[in-house]
Amino acid sequence: MTQQNDPLERIVTAYADAFSHLAGATTGRTRRGAHGSVLAVSGAPTAALNMIVSTTREASVEEIIELADAERLGEEGPPWSIRVRGVPGPEVTAVAARYGLTRHEREPLMLRHSDQGVPNGPTPKDFHVRAVPVDELHVYARTVADGFEAPPELFQVLADPAVGNIDGMTFYLAELGGVPVGTGMTATAGDVAGIFNITTLPEFRRRGYGRATVSEMVRAGHMAGAATSYLYAWDMGRRVYESLGFRTEEYLTVITAPD
């Protein structure tokens, strides 16, 4: 199936490429199959940053096996995931289970199209979003972990200076009076901007900071020539994204090992 008949394939490919670039900068462990599967292993101790992604509607089971075995995934090393579009077929489910991946979660792919322009809305008082220089990536990584309420070591890979030099990838701190209260990240590929790592620290939630951060990410994409924005949403933020004009186009199934 061509991308003309599957317009979302280029979006999912941009998503997979973002993780491939991250893995390329940190470990060099990234591979690409001939049938649309992308392997990206950043080395972080979380399945959120190590994966095989199928960018086509019909995942190639053979290619998933080939990539997983080539990198010896599941034998040793960090947790990882298999990510496929829509509902995985029984063959994908069986192969994932062979590697111990039996937990299935759905993440909505949400798009905000170029004809919607730049979002409007008030910016909270004393609130500011700024790009993070390489020498502050350690602050960014710590704030991401705090925003996700996760151990710091899960996202320490984001403090690697090499990550700050990835072309098209920009890391942001959301600050209130100069104090970090949240994060964001954009990965620009042509006319498409991916939005990642939107967090707000627990004590600062429900004050509009998350919405303001996403608005700034969309504006940053427009300024970079990427007027179409996409993200994979968590339930917590879905209403915020919808209020900014994002709409669910399809779902990604993330298959991981059980906790």
Q: Are 192 and 14 in contact (CB under 8 A)?
A: yes
Among positive and negative, which fits the CA dihedral 112, 227, 175, 142? positive
- The 8-class DSSP code of residue 206 comes to S
Which pTM value belongs to this model? 0.95
**pLDDT category of residue 234 using cuts at 50, 70 and 90:** confident
CA distance to 9, 38, 50, 84, 251, per residue, from 87 (Å): 16, 18, 20, 8, 8
Structure tokens of 84? 């496929």
**pLDDT category of residue 3 using cuts at 50, 70 and 90:** low
Q: Where are the alpha helices (DSSP H) in the chain?
A: 9-26, 61-70, 90-98, 137-147, 209-223, 238-243
Among positive and negative, which fits the CA dihedral 187, 109, 145, 40? negative
What pLDDT, on the 0 to 100 scale, is given for residue 109? 98
Q: Around Cβ 131, how many Cβ atoms within 10 Å? A: 13
DSSP per-residue letters across 181-205: EEEEEEEEETTEEEEEEEEE-GGG-
pLDDT tens digits for 137-193? 999 999 999 999 999 999 999 999 999 999 999 999 999 999 999 999 999 999 999
Domains in the chain with CATH codes: 9-109 (no CATH), 114-249 (3.40.630.30)
Look up tokens 């080939």; give the residue: 66
State mean pLDDT over 51-59: 97
Separation between Cα atoms, residue 184 and residue 217, nearest integer Å: 7
CA–centroid distance for 68 within its chain: 20
* Cβ partners under 8 Å of residue 82, min gap 6: 51, 52, 54, 64, 92, 95, 96, 99, 101, 254, 255
Mean pLDDT of the chain: 95
DSSP-derived pairing of the beta strands 127-131 and 103-112? unpaired
